[in-house]
Every structure is written in structure tokens, then in C-alpha cells.
Amino acid sequence: MPGNVNTTLETGELACAITAGDLPGKVMITTRRAGDLRPGIRGTAARRASVVPGGAWRWTRQVHGAVVVTAEHAGDAGDGLIGRAAGARPAMFAADCALLGILSPQGIVGVAHAGWHGLCAGVIEETARAMRSFGATTLSAVRGPCIGPECYEFSPDDLDSVAREYGPAVRGETSVGRPALDLAAGVRAACDRAEIELVHEVCSCTACARTASGEPTWFSHRARRDPGRHGLVIVERQ
């Protein structure tokens, strides 16, 4: 059990910094204001260092699947990435999908990128399995923002498919009463199956959440076809 969860909320480029008990890592989540911090975009290395000072981040080529890679193979295709809290700095990026940061008392940390395809493929369970194979025992997780059911109309056939895998809680409704996927509920069900304690969720819809000034808080592909992505990274705890 991680004990006390401390969440520091920000109003600018960093949405929140989350620590749980004595776990040797901190989950950092960026906002749209920070810009697109993925590799390959001019100036991103300097912006990453400005938003989250310290060492370099590691990431994968996200493909909406369930492959998990280790920090030594960062850059390969995969939607799960694991390493050690001291220096690994694993990161994932999204614009509606759920991002999950997972920590363990043994210092093994992992991140997972879960849209509905990755969720059903088992990326959360596979990330937990990989972390345990490296010696992690108790796993605790933080979920970043994702699209909410109010903005996520879903075809009945696809919704049935997700519900068969993760139960009826994934069934939701849009703001106008159409069938919708509750992606956050699916992540909770996957965490339960993988025996991950979900200690904190950023309950904010990437499609419709706004800042005090009326600007979108997050990137959203579905709502605005945003090309950018916000990020989740696990950093060493000071």
C-alpha cells in the first residue's frame, strides 16, 4: 500500500505532480500549454527540460498495441515501457487515450498508453506482468486524463466487444444520450485484473475540459484533430 498520495496541481505547463507514500518515483503530467513534447519536433528537448528539469526522457513508438519494452530498448514499437525509477524517466504521450504511470516499492516503474485497442489487447496487464518479471511486487498507479464518455460516442458492436472483456461499467452515454465508451472505467477494470492499485485519477475529459481562460486544457484528436500530444513521465523522487 502506498499510503498518503500527494498531488500538486499547477495552472500552467505542468498539470500535476503526484507522489504516493514512499514509492521511489513521481508521476508528472503535462498540459496542452506545454506544447507537444514528443521527439522529432524542433525545440522539444529544451521544452521538456524546462517543464520537467533533470535527465532525458525515454519513450517508445506507440502503436495502440500491448507490446512492452524496457528502457534499454526505448525507441522501439510498444505501448508499455518499464525501467528503474533512478534515471529511466519513461514517458508516454496521448491526445484522448489514457496514460498510466505505475510504481513499485522495488524501484521498478512503468508507463502504459491505453486507447480502446490497447486496452482490449491487454497493455495494462502486460505492463504489470513485465514489471513483476523484473522484481516488482506491489504495484500502484496514477491515471492521466482521457476522453470522457460524454464526448466519446462508440459503435454498439465495438462497445459490446469492450464490455465482454471488461464488464458493463465501460458502457456510458454521450452528452446527448448516444452509446459511449467509458475508457476510464475500462482502465480501472484492467488495473483490478492486473492487481494494480489505482491510487489517483486525473478526472478530466481531454475533449471538453477548459482552463479558467477558456482554452482547452489537453490535446484531443477526436474533438479537434489536434496534432499535438500531452505527456506523462515518471521521474526520480527527490
**Span 26-44, average pLDDT:** 93
Number of domain units in the chain:
1
**Over pLDDT 90: what percentage of the chain?**
83
What integer best gives the mean pLDDT of the chain?
Answer: 93
Mean of the pLDDT values across residues 69-78? 95
pTM given for the model = 0.94
pLDDT digit string (tens) for 106-137?
Answer: 999 999 999 999 999 999 999 999 999 999 99
**What's residue 14's pLDDT?**
75
Residue 230: CA atoms inside 13 Å, Cβ hemisphere, count? 32
**Rg of the chain over all Cα atoms, to the nearest angstrom:** 16
Residues 44/76, Cβ–Cβ less than 8 Å:
no
Q: Is the torsion defined by CA of 169, 29, 94, 137 positive or negative?
A: negative
Q: Is the pLDDT of residue 9 over 60?
A: no
Q: 13 pLDDT exceeds 90?
A: no
Q: Determine the structural domain holding residue 10 and report its residue range.
A: 5-235
| Kind plus residue range of the DSSP H or E element containing 2 | none
Contact assessment for residue 45 and residue 36, using Cβ atoms and an 8 Å cutoff: no
Report the pLDDT averaged over residues 181-193.
Answer: 98
Beta pairing class for 14-20 and 5-9: antiparallel
E-state strands within 37-85: 68-70, 80-84
Question: How sure is the predictor about 77, in pLDDT bands with cuts at 50, 70 and 90?
Answer: very high
Sign of CA dihedral 128, 190, 48, 52: negative
pLDDT score recorded for residue 22: 85
CATH code of residue 205: 3.60.140.10
8, pLDDT greater than 70: no
